[in-house]
Amino acid sequence: MRPGNYEIRTSLIFCYHMKKTTAESRQILVTAYGDYFLDKLQCFEWFKKFKSGDFDLRNAEYGRTPKKFQNSDLQALLDEDDAQT
């Protein structure tokens, strides 16, 4: 079975509530799913998030920076074809 991010994060919450350390939790998941699913830093970051009271399993959304143009002609061309850079 190849778990997705949601399943791994749900498992981490379970381990967190079972009072497992980050290292213990990672070892449990590595034993169950394999070493390539979760690195130490990811596990640490999710536990840090849980400790702050945030149990949202979604990734943070990062918006696009709004485009800023000085030249109105350039802006008009980009509006016609957004794939232009």
**Residue 68: per-residue pLDDT:** 64
Q: How far apart are CA 47 and CA 54, in angstroms?
A: 10
Q: Exposed, middle or buried: residue 9 (CB in 10 Å: 0-12, 13-18, 19+)?
A: buried
**Residue 85: per-residue pLDDT:** 56
Kindly list the averaged pLDDT for each block of 10 residues, start to end, along the chain of length 85.
84 94 92 81 91 85 63 74 61
**Residue 13: per-residue pLDDT:** 94
pTM for this predicted structure: 0.64
